[in-house]
Structure 1
Amino acid sequence: METEEIVHKLEAKGIKPTSNRILVMKTLVNEQNPLSLKDLEQKMVSMDKSSIFRTLTLFLEHDAVHAFEDGRGILNYEVCEEEGECDHHDGHIHFYCESCHRSFCMEDIHIPSFELPEGFYPHSVSFVIKGECPECRKRLR
């Protein structure tokens, strides 16, 4: 995705497109898998951890990214595909590979619908399956 498209994406979410914000979003967009803060640090050595974290926090507040816990207690971030405000209708499961430690979006497998008991209101839903990705499975055989 080009810088111009990143700027448009950020502005559509109500985020002022600074150079750090553009860089973080571009890194997330260009990856095929969700990334943790540590992953982003390793890919963006020119930016310090606190700047990346502040940017991710802002992105979460504006629904520019979604975060999910990968089953190890580590948040992974993925870009929200919605223009403007997100209604979180595209909830999908994630897969965490215990061998290579990568997370994958399973966008075609949606989180099953459920009904909570009266008085309970969910703020987020996360569904993570742990195992081995095809690449690691092949390597381990």
Structure 2
Amino acid sequence: MLKYSDLKQLLKKHQLRVTDCRLDVLSLFQASEHALTSRFLEHELTAYDRVTLYRTLNSFIESGLLHKIPDDSGMARYGVCDHHCDSEEHRHDHLHFKCDACGHVDCLSSYHVPKVQIPGFLIKEANMILNGLCQSCNS
């Protein structure tokens, strides 16, 4: 878990203004092992309204701090980007895993989406979510 001063440095590194909301949101993401939903943030950070939280999430995505994870539930999930992401280079070609029992979504950064080429199509982005039981629920 990062210290308060480290969180401030991370925001500055990504050219974001340091605000209480941004520090609080970033702190929750840094403390979590799983992807988080906006609903979770709203529940945990009641001092901020929904619009402020969405703007914060969008600024984090644009600056390369977070990436949006597609989900079949209709609820957006967000994961922490690797250290190499920024506003210029922001790619996430890794797999995601969603547990059928607990519902957690995890980034599997060591496993990459296979490259696919389809004649006549220009693929700009590929996402892959694996479903099953996580290590905790499977034991």
Length-normalised TM-score, structure 1: 0.84
Query: Equivalent pairs: percent with the same residue?
Result: 23
Counterpart position of 2:104: 102
Counterpart position of 2:138: 137
Q: Return closer, same or farther for 1:80/1:118 CA change in 2, 3 Å cut-off.
A: same
Q: How does 1:1-141 map onto structure 2 within 5 Å? A: 1-83=2-84, 84-85=86-87, 87-88=89-90, 91-118=93-120, 120-122=122-124, 124-138=125-139
Rounded Cα–Cα distance in structure 1 between residues aligned with 2:68 and 2:88: 13
Once superposed, which parts of structure 1, at least 4 consecutive aligned residues long, lie more than 6 Å away? none
Farther off after superposition, 103-112 or 42-51? 42-51
Q: CA RMSD in A?
A: 2.0
**Cα deviations by residue, 1:72-99 (Å, 9 ceiling, x for unpaired):** 2222111222354453455211111122
2:67–2:92: 8 Å Cα contact kept in structure 1? Answer: no
Point out where structure 2 has 5 or more consecutive residues left out of the alignment: none
AA in 1 matched with 2:135: P
Length-normalised TM-score, structure 2: 0.85
Rounded Cα–Cα distance in structure 2 between residues aligned with 1:117 and 1:88: 25
Aligned length: 137
Point out where structure 1 has 5 or more consecutive residues left out of the alignment: none
